[in-house]
Amino acid sequence: MNNYPPGVTGREYEIAGPDAEWTETKEVYCQWEDCPHFEKEVEVELDVESYRGQWWTTYTCPTCEKDSEFDGEIETADPDEAWDNRDFD
Ligand SMILES: [Zn+2]
């Protein structure tokens, strides 16, 4: 039983939220051209979210304090498997 309208399963991102959330060290860079750190890669630990095989994260540059967004595809197609492979450190 659910109260969702036809065609809505309750699994939609807006309702169910991300399939997974985890913290991961990623190589990212500032995407703002006017920043001295523009496109200078740094390794930082970021909160990553995923939904339906896509992940995304936001890096806030400590220099200009603007956000850069990164996303991509999860290598394992199965979101449950991606969940199991999370790094719990
Ligand atoms: Zn910056």
pLDDT band at 63 (very low <50, low <70, confident <90, very high): very high
* Confidence check: pLDDT of 86 > 70: no
CA 4 / ligand 1 centre spacing (Å)? 42
Residue 50 CA from chain centroid, whole number: 5
Residues with CB under 5 A from ligand 1 (ion): 30, 32, 35, 37, 61, 63-64
Judge whether residue 77 has pLDDT over 80.
Answer: no
Residues written for the chain: 89
Contacts of 11 (CB under 8 A, 6+ apart): none
Q: What is the mean pLDDT of the chain?
A: 88
Note the pLDDT tens digit of each residue in 26-39.
999 999 999 999 99
Round to whole Å and give the CA distance between 81 and 20: 10
C-beta of residue 46 within 8 angstroms of C-beta of residue 23: yes
In the predicted structure, residue 21 carries a pLDDT above the cut 90:
yes
Domain layout of the chain by residue ranges: 13-84
